[in-house]
């Protein structure tokens, strides 16, 4: 049945593609990686003719018009572009983050670069942008795992030193459950809540550990409270097959329901139809939290990449109707450091990506890496201190942010010395902690979105960015050639 559905989807997709070329771009990343901000900035810069020198189609003036159109999938919520832009541009606050899947169609009219191209193509590309939580991708390994192995692995991970402390409450509750006792709805709910609280605690700032499956526990979308989500791993498991009305049997049924009603349809209906993918990562938060968080980010990225590699995984092979041929791994928020550190950030990200690619044994798509800021909230300057001239970044820190005992009011522009990233990425990957001499020393402040510049004629310019143009060139350049 899976295959028949895919075949229909594929035929429908191909038919529309003949009439007007479309490109489905997936935008993902773990929560708060910067998906919403990235999509808003991409669309804003294309609609308003932003400054994108490295995005050739735009900088050479071949794009005549870009505009929003009705999206093709009626059952998927629309990406709330207008609300997000109002927040960013008018209120200068960061928009609401991605909580579930959404979609937006941007149509680009352009003139082909070659005479041939101008004769052959209609010069119109529909870009379908699909925004979805990276947490949902981490569910892929569950498909080939039964409930007992899912439980065993969850318990093993919880025993690792980094997680042990935060897992304590959940382990205590799960240990107290006899797998053969009668199924109990209230207890199921408690187990779900305790496990979710543990997953949430792993993500807190100082730990900055990436999420573990089930992905919907932290990002439920519209499934909050449904039985397919009300389960959790057990510490003690029945020997052999559990009694049908027992606690473990109920957990198993719900786990299987989660896989067949939530995980599989998501991959089939959305992931299998993508042409290109950008994976956003908050590398700086991980770098700042230390080598364990960096290793953890690498692990999450490995698992994410595995979702785009049909071949090994038979479920994936059965559903993919087309192949993702380009993947961009992008570290956002580079505007929080001075441009002298941008290349360093990029090489750290490259190193994380290379290790993840090797571990995922990934091949088949071209993968590139960029350190960027979808929205640039700062500008650069220098401050003289004694005889030294220090590079600083200047922006309006958000109300309540603190640095060195000073608390900001959200209205005052301030110069901040952001610190340096280590010169070589190697230090971040060393086992047993970083070398203190090369430990990153970044001072983090969250800035408000920027005040948009106006030209002498009173025209408001589009959202400023760092290297968004490079990202666009990699993701779309060849489609607009």
H/E segment holding residue 103: strand 102-110
CB atoms within 10 A of CB 17: 15
Counting contacts by CB under 6 A, is residue 414 touching ligand GDP?
A: no
CA dihedral over 461, 452, 470, 478, signed as positive or negative: negative
Q: Using the rule CB under 6 A, which residue among 203, 333, 338, 351 binds ligand GDP?
A: 333
Query: Which tokens belong to 125?
Result: 């590309």
DSSP per-residue codes, 366-414: EEEEEE-BSS---EEEEEEETTEEEEEEEE-BPTT-EETTEE--SS--E
Beginning with the edge strand found earlier in the chain, give each strand of the sheet holding 22-29 in spatial order. Answer: 63-69, 102-110, 124-131, 22-29, 276-281, 326-331, 366-371
Q: Give the residue with the Cβ less far from ligand GDP, 131 or 252.
A: 131
Q: Give the residue with the Cβ less far from ligand GDP, 41 or 167.
A: 41
Interacting stretch for ligand GDP, rule CB under 6 A, among 25-33, 160-168, 170-178, 320-328? 25-33
Counting contacts by CB under 6 A, is residue 31 touching ligand GDP?
A: yes
| CB-based contacts of 478, cutoff 8 Å, min separation 6 | none
Query: Which tokens belong to 444?
Result: 């983090």
Q: Give the residue with the Cβ less far from ligand GDP, 236 or 446.
A: 446
Q: Give the residue with the Cβ less far from ligand GDP, 42 or 480.
A: 42
Counting contacts by CB under 6 A, is residue 285 touching ligand GDP?
A: no
Counting contacts by CB under 6 A, is residue 273 touching ligand GDP?
A: no
CB of residue 323 to ligand GDP, shortest distance in Å: 25
d(CA 273, CA 93): 33
Q: Give the residue with the Cβ less far from ligand GDP, 422 or 450.
A: 450
Counting contacts by CB under 6 A, is residue 345 touching ligand GDP?
A: no
Residues listed for the chain: 481
Q: Please, are residues 251 and 214 in contact by the beta-carbon 8 Å criterion?
A: no
Counting contacts by CB under 6 A, is residue 328 touching ligand GDP?
A: no
Counting contacts by CB under 6 A, is residue 375 touching ligand GDP?
A: yes
CB of residue 322 to ligand GDP, shortest distance in Å: 25
**Contact characters 97-126, ligand GDP, x per CB under 6 A:** xx----------------------------
CB of residue 210 to ligand GDP, shortest distance in Å: 13
Interacting stretch for ligand GDP, rule CB under 6 A, among 1-9, 43-51, 330-338, 345-353? 330-338
Pick the closest to residue 362 from 329, 330, 331 (CA basis).
329
Helix (H, G, I), strand (E, B) or coil at 97: coil
Q: Using the rule CB under 6 A, which residue among 6, 23, 33, 301 binds ligand GDP?
A: 33
Which residues contact ligand GDP (rule: CB under 6 A)?
29, 31-37, 94, 97-98, 332-333, 335-336, 373-375, 377, 446-447
């Amino acid at each position: 049945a899976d295959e028949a559905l895919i075949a229909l989807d594929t035929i429908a997709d191909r038919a529309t593609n003949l009439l007007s070329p479309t490109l489905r771009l997936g935008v993902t990343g773990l929560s708060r990686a910067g998906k919403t901000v990235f999509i808003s900035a991409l669309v804003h810069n294309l609609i308003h003719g932003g400054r994108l020198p490295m995005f050739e189609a735009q900088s050479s003036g071949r794009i005549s018009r870009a505009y929003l159109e009705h999206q093709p999938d009626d059952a998927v919520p629309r990406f709330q572009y207008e609300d997000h832009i109002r927040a960013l541009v008018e209120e200068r606050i960061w928009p609401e983050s991605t909580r579930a899947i959404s979609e937006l169609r941007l149509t680009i009219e352009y003139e082909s670069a070659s005479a041939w191209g101008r004769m052959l193509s209609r010069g119109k590309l529909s870009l379908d942008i699909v925004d979805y939580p990276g947490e949902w991708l981490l569910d892929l390994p569950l498909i080939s795992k039964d409930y007992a192995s899912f439980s065993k692995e969850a318990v093993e991970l919880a025993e690792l030193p980094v997680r042990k402390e935060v897992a304590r409450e959940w382990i205590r509750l799960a240990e107290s459950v006899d797998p053969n006792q009668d199924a109990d709805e209230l207890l199921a709910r408690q187990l779900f809540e305790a496990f979710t609280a543990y997953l949430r605690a792993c993500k807190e700032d100082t730990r900055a550990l990436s999420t573990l499956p089930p992905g919907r526990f932290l990002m439920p979308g519209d499934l909050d409270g449904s039985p397919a989500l009300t389960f959790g791993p057990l510490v003690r498991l029945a020997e052999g097959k559990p009694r049908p009305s027992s606690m473990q049997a109920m957990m198993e049924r719900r786990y299987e329901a989660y896989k067949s009603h939530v995980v599989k349809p998501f991959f089939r209906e959305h992931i299998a139809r993508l042409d290109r993918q950008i994976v956003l990562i908050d590398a700086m938060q991980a770098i700042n939290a230390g080598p364990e968080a960096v290793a953890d980010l690498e692990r999450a990225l490995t698992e994410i990449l595995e979702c785009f590699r049909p071949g090994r995984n038979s479920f994936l092979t059965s559903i993919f109707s087309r192949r993702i041929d380009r993947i961009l791994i992008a570290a956002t928020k580079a505007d929080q450091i001075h441009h002298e550190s941008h290349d360093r950030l990029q090489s750290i990200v490259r190193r994380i990506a290379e290790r993840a690619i090797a571990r995922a044994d990934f091949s088949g798509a071209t993968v590139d890496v960029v350190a960027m800021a979808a929205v640039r909230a700062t500008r650069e300057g220098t401050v003289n201190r004694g005889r030294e001239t220090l590079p600083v970044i200047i922006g309006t820190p958000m109300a309540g942010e603190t640095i060195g005992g000073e608390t900001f009011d959200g209205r005052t522009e301030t110069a901040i010395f952001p610190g340096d990233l280590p010169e070589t990425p190697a230090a971040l990957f060393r086992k047993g902690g970083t070398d203190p001499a090369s430990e990153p020393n970044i001072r983090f402040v969250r800035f408000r979105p920027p005040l948009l510049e106006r030209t002498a004629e009173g025209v408001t310019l589009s959202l400023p960015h760092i290297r968004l143009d490079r990202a666009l060139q990699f993701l779309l350049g060849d489609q607009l050639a």
